[in-house]
Amino acid sequence: MTTATVSRWDRFRESFFWYSFKRDKVAIASFAVLLLMVLAAIFAPLLAPTDPYDLAQINIMNSELPPVGMSGSDPAFPLGTDAQGRDLLSTILYGTRVSLMIGFGAVILQAFLGILFGLLAGYLGGKVDAILMRIADVQLSFSTLMVAIIVGAVFKASFGNLMFGEIAIYMLIFIIGVAEWPQIARTVRASVLAEKKKEYVDAAKVMGFGTRRIMFRHILPNTLSPIFVIATVQIANAIISEAALSFLGLGMPETQPSLGSLIKSGFDYIQSGSWWITLIPGLVLVVLVLVINLLGDWLRDVMNPRLYKG
Amino acid sequence: MLAFLVQRISQALLVMFVISVIAFAIQDGLGDPLQEMVGMSVSEEEREAIRDELGLNDPMVVQYLRFAGNALQGDLGNSYFYSKPTLEVIAEHLPATLELVIGASLIIVFLSVPIGVYAAIRPQAWLSKFFMGVSTVGISIPVFLTAIVLIQLFSIGVAVNWFPSDTGWGQWLNDFFTTEGGLPSYGRGDNLTHLFGTWNSGFFSEGGLMHLVLPSVSLASIMLPLFIRLIRAEMMEVLQSDYIRYARAKGLSAGRINFLHALKNTMLPVITVGGVQIGIMVAYTILTETVFQWPGVGLMFLEAITRSDIPLIVAYLMVVGLIFVITNTVVDLVYGLVNPTVKLTGKKA
């Protein structure tokens, strides 16, 4: 077992992937920032000075305190407080956690749907392909954000505010996952079409392997690198979509805020001069999305896959 | 060509049919119109009577056919909140959204073409790298956040005193970073010019134009990076082609090659992609209008959701769906017309 891991590690260290990562300062910096934010989000309960979900720790007298460095600030709240007196640093740590959970969850769901439908469409071809890709085309032409807003609005209206607030996290994963599967399906289909013509697939067919086995055991592993590239970018898109939905009031409730709902609740106070409640979570959101996009750009250059060019 | 035309139009009709089914399902499954109309004090028998009268107890198919028939005649029901036909409500709000989209499109066209072409001609220049960097960052900023930052900078204003004000350079830096604010960030203002029908325009008065600045810049900010990247990529591809090399060998001036011969072929894919993107902008108008309380259809839709104004939600879906379907079909047809390499069966090559 140990020898296997060691040799794998050696192989990784000698790979082109690691070589180009070491030489790209932007990629290293982006990865470091992303790792830091993910770790901070995972360990938010340990790192955060207060628990923003615990009403007993909130004092309304502390509301709208500015960040340290401005007059009237309190050193106990380094980034200031929001309108309800919650420590902004804590709400941001927890909010990043919620945003990342939804981002990753939505991409796992859309990868599942996209890979399944993309494989089916690409390998089976014919009617299956025509129907699935037509659906994908139509859904994409409506823009994923529009689809997500409409599905979110319908869910919110049918579940009611309270119920929607409780299950919002799962709802958002579902909404964004379903709204964005065509992106991955098209990429998978394009590379399946290329792989399908290769000799190893003919060989597998001649050996009498079943369609399912060829699709998942033989073709799928060879389409992983474009999936990897597009999934990275899709995480960033999912986080933005979640923030947009939350900003419209169709996402996370203020009691369990994501970065988007923090921006939304702070926006009501921007005219009274409390800019930090909305702009600090906004800055965190932009940095998070930016480093993921930069990593995605770098991955695209390194892996250079056959991406769907629409 | 005829086959292509028929195929695209029948697809558009099919999509419209699916949209109408979805819209009908929402209308049928969501909310209880009676609750909105009569309140709590009405007895169960009376409710049942009104239900019968409204046809809410008929079979699904009958209800759908009635819905579709009415929709074809331009009747999508009455809004609960405004108590008038939903299409009238949408017609009142549509001009505001259209002006926002026109404003944003103008900004996009006048900025993305020169920047994209410049970045393609001189990919190594620091200014091109700066523009490409800014557009990477721009893609990562959600439109509502751009809007909030713009409000803070140009509507509320920022007073900067980070630098020592007793020295000349400190004062200069403070003044440099301090913004005045004062641009309106709420609604369309009162100085609207009546054009025709329900169209009151903000294009013809200073107040109206001022109100248009921040919302259209915000809306443009989300599309601008996409267009700059697209124009740059297409232009670079065109510049590699043989006819450009031939034009260079012939000794034509760089300006003539770049702006007459290369740009013409760059703009073809850009215009078709652009047509679709303008449709997609409808989704972003919802966000922009929410931030700026811009009285367009996006804000109207969001308010309809909070008020559970189901007929208005349904009417919005149908109208926006129709706009999308028409833009996409027209763009496809135009592309098929000008680019003969598109296979006539409609499958993408």
- What pLDDT is recorded for position A113? 93
Least confident of A205-214, A268-277, B93-102: A268-277
Asked, for residue A111, whether it belongs to a domain, the answer is yes
The pLDDT tens digits for B70-121 are 888 878 778 878 888 888 899 888 888 988 988 998 999 899 989 998 998 8
Contact B148 A145 (CB under 8 A): no
Among the residue ranges B40-44, B227-231, B266-270, B292-296, the one predicted with the least confidence is B40-44
pLDDT at B339: 66
Query: E strand or H helix at B280, and its extent?
Result: helix B263-292
CB pair distance less than 8 Å for B286 and A138: no
Residue B180 placed within a domain: yes
Residue A50 lies in a domain: no
In a domain, B162, yes or no: yes
Please report the ipTM that was assigned to this predicted complex: 0.80
**Count: domains in chain A:** 1
Domain-located, residue B294: yes
Count the helices and strands in chain B (H runs, E runs): 14, 2
- Stretch among A55-59, A292-296, B115-119 having the lowest mean pLDDT: A55-59
* Structural domain includes residue B264: yes
Give the per-residue pLDDT at A1: 45
Of B26, B276, B308, the CB nearest to A141: B276
Which is higher by pLDDT, B38 or B290? B290
- How many domains does chain B fold into? 1
The verdict on residue B54 lying in a domain is no
**Per-residue confidence band for A309, with pLDDT thresholds at 50, 70 and 90:** very low
pLDDT beyond 80 at A217: yes
Residue A274: CATH number of its domain: 1.10.3720.10
Domain containing residue B185: CATH number:
1.10.3720.10
- Please report, for residues B126, B135, B137, B138, the alpha-carbon distance to residue B130 in angstroms, rounded to integers and kept in the order given: 6, 9, 11, 12
- How far away is chain B from the Cα of A289, in angstroms, using its nearest Cα? 6
Residue A115 within a domain: yes
pLDDT: is B233 or B54 the higher one?
B233
Per-residue burial over A161-176, b if 16 or more Cβ lie within 10 Å, else e, is eeebbeebbebbbbbb
**Backbone φ, ψ for residue B193 (5° rounding):** -100, 130
Least trusted range by pLDDT, from A140-144, A240-244, B290-294:
A140-144
Q: What is this structure's pTM?
A: 0.84
What is the pLDDT, as a whole number, of residue A71?
67
What pLDDT score was predicted for residue B342? Answer: 54
Residue B347 pLDDT level (bands cut at 50, 70, 90):
very low
Predicted local confidence at residue A7, as pLDDT: 73
CA distance A129 to chain B (A): 12
pLDDT of B37 reads: 64
Residue A6: is its pLDDT beyond 70? Answer: no
- Out of A143, A263, A294, the one facing B283 most closely (by C-beta) is A143
Cβ-Cβ contacts under 8 Å for B269 (sequence gap 6 or more): B230, B234
Q: Choose, out of B17, B145, B328, the residue to mutate when testing the contact with A (most A CBs < 10 Å).
A: B145
Burial class (CB in 10 A: 0-12, 13-18, 19+), B314: buried
Mean pLDDT over residues B207-220, rounded? 86
B8 located within any domain: no
Residue B343 has pLDDT above 70, yes or no: no
3-state SS, residue B76: coil
Q: Does A2 reside within a domain?
A: no
Give the pLDDT score at A117: 92
Residue A69 banded pLDDT, cuts 50, 70, 90:
low
Stretch among A111-120, A135-144, B163-172 having the lowest mean pLDDT: B163-172
Rounded to whole angstroms, the Cα distance separating B235 from B79 reads: 49
pLDDT of residue A173: 92
**Position B279 confidence tier, pLDDT thresholds 50, 70, 90:** low
Confirm whether B51 is domain-assigned: no
Domain assignment present for residue A295? The answer is yes
Q: Which domain holds residue A90?
A: 26-44+86-304
Do A153 and B144 make contact, defined as CB atoms within 8 angstroms?
no
Question: What pLDDT was estimated at residue A308?
Answer: 44
- What torsion, rounded to 10 degrees, do the Cα atoms A43, A44, A47, A51 define? -140
Q: Is B123 helix (H, G, I), strand (E, B) or coil?
A: coil
The pLDDT value recorded for residue A112 is: 93
Range of the domain at B204: 87-308
Mean pLDDT over the full length of chain A: 82
Q: What is the predicted pLDDT for the residue at A305? A: 55
> pLDDT over 70 for what percent of chain B?
90
Residues B137-188 have pLDDT tens digits of 888 888 888 888 888 888 877 776 667 777 777 777 777 777 776 777 777 7
- Alpha-carbon gap: B280 to the closest alpha carbon of chain A (Å): 6
B305 chain-A contacts, CB cut-off 8 A: 153, 156-157, 250
Work out the average pLDDT over A199-220. 88
Looking at the complex, does the CB of residue B109 fall below 8 Å from at least one CB of chain A?
Answer: no
Q: Identify whether A51 is part of a domain.
A: no
In angstroms, what separates the C-alpha of A240 from chain B's closest C-alpha?
6
What is the overall mean pLDDT for chain B? 81
Band the pLDDT of B349: cuts 50, 70, 90. very low
3-class SS at B196? Answer: strand
**Residue B313: its chain A contacts at CB < 8 A?**
153, 157
Among A122-131, B188-197, B207-216, the range scoring the smallest mean pLDDT is B188-197
Average pLDDT (A34-43) is 90
